[in-house]
Amino acid sequence: MPASSPYSPSSSAFSAVVDRLRGDGCVFAEDEARLLFSAASAPSDLDALVERRAAGEPLEHVVGWAEFCGLRIAVDPGVFVPRRRTEFLVRQAAARAPAEPVVVDLCCGTGALGAALAALRPGAEVHAADADPAAVACARRNLAGLGGRVYAGDLYDPLPRGLRGRVDVLAANVPYVPTGEIGLLPGEARDHEARSALDGGPDGLDVLRRVSAAAADWLAPDGLLLSETSVRQAPAAAAIAAADGLAVRVAADEEADTAVVVATAPNG
Ligand SMILES: C[S@@+](CC[C@H](N)C(=O)[O-])C[C@H]1O[C@@H](n2cnc3c(N)ncnc32)[C@H](O)[C@@H]1O
């Protein structure tokens, strides 16, 4: 929106939006108002965006993008919003990946992890997959300019067979919220992200179990599986990968309450 617009951030309209967001419990009302103003192409758009945000839709769905590892990642309605804490997984992966790695972003959502790894490791060959058609469409947009390929289907099923034994980085930020804790999530997640993007079964680790069980078939000899969990879940997640014969270590970021299980194939 041009700065001369009556809806520019210096206007009374800006203050009105800030007040509205604040009144609806928004903590960072000024920052959010700025983003809503820049996402609107006309005053009527702005009103609609403010209404959606005030009704509790995640800001990223309303403006259509999220910042992740310094990139602007498109986020379509209903698709899991990439969390800033997951940048920790990306940093762990980028620090250990070989030059020009073959990357698979499994359970990719928007494809944020694949996009970030492609940006950090030039020459990366990026593949991504998700079961949710909305996520697949979104990831295709995010990875198109990076040469990434995105497949639709259950876990490894849609990946090209030729990737078997060639994957240097298997980044799998799978759903890991225990079923009984879904109700404790903020409404933004509970009401606006697909249940299948959140629910990891009774202990939150059901999807990770399936990913870990087949990881050795896909990893290159020194390839890495990286999967995010909460700090509390990390010992159980590490035990799952170890029971599958993988060599495991856990990297934890206690402040962000996030952990990453980093596992290598037995011959790695
Ligand atoms: C927690 S979200 C993470 C998305 C993305 N990796 C990120 O960090 O932003 C989990 C994703 O896994 C996908 N998913 C869940 N079960 C799956 C399955 N069995 N096969 C493929 N994708 C699955 C969901 O659709 C969702 O996009």
To the nearest 10°, report the CA torsion of 71, 227, 235, 207.
130
Burial class (CB in 10 A: 0-12, 13-18, 19+), 48: middle
Task: Using most ligand atoms within 8 A of CB, pick from 130, 198, 199 the residue to mutate for ligand 1.
Answer: 130
Q: What is the mean pLDDT of residues 99-110?
A: 98
Question: Ligand 1 in contact with 126 (CB < 6 A)?
Answer: no
Question: What is the whole-number distance in angstroms between the Cα of residue 248 and the centre of ligand 1?
Answer: 22
pLDDT, residue 214, reads 98
Sign of CA dihedral 121, 123, 124, 129: positive
Task: Using most ligand atoms within 8 A of CB, pick from 138, 169, 179, 196 the residue to mutate for ligand 1.
Answer: 196
pLDDT, residue 7, reads 53
Question: Ligand 1 in contact with 175 (CB < 6 A)?
Answer: yes
Query: pLDDT tens digit string along 156-201?
Result: 999 999 999 999 999 999 999 999 999 999 999 999 999 999 999 9
Domain boundaries, the chain: 11-55, 84-264
- How far is it, in rounded angstroms, from Cα 59 to Cα 77? 10
Q: 43-54 vs 12-23: helix axis angle to the nearest 10?
A: 20
Query: pLDDT tens digit string along 33-87?
Result: 999 999 998 888 999 999 999 999 999 999 999 999 999 999 999 999 999 999 9
Question: Ligand 1 in contact with 174 (CB < 6 A)?
Answer: yes
pTM recorded for the entire structure: 0.94
Fold of 84-264: Rossmann fold (3.40.50)
Name the residue with the closest Cα to ligand 1, atom 7. 82
- How far is it, in rounded angstroms, from Cα 19 to Cα 79? 28
Cβ–Cβ < 8 Å for 108, 151? no
Question: What is the whole-number distance in angstroms between the Cα of residue 49 and the centre of ligand 1?
Answer: 27
Question: Ligand 1 in contact with 112 (CB < 6 A)?
Answer: yes
Name the residue with the closest Cα to ligand 1, atom 9. 82
Q: What is the mean pLDDT of residues 1-17?
A: 68
Question: What is the whole-number distance in angstroms between the Cα of residue 136 and the centre of ligand 1?
Answer: 10
Question: Ligand 1 in contact with 114 (CB < 6 A)?
Answer: no
pLDDT reading at 5 higher than 80: no
Q: Which of 137, 100, 141 is nearest to 117 (CA)?
A: 100
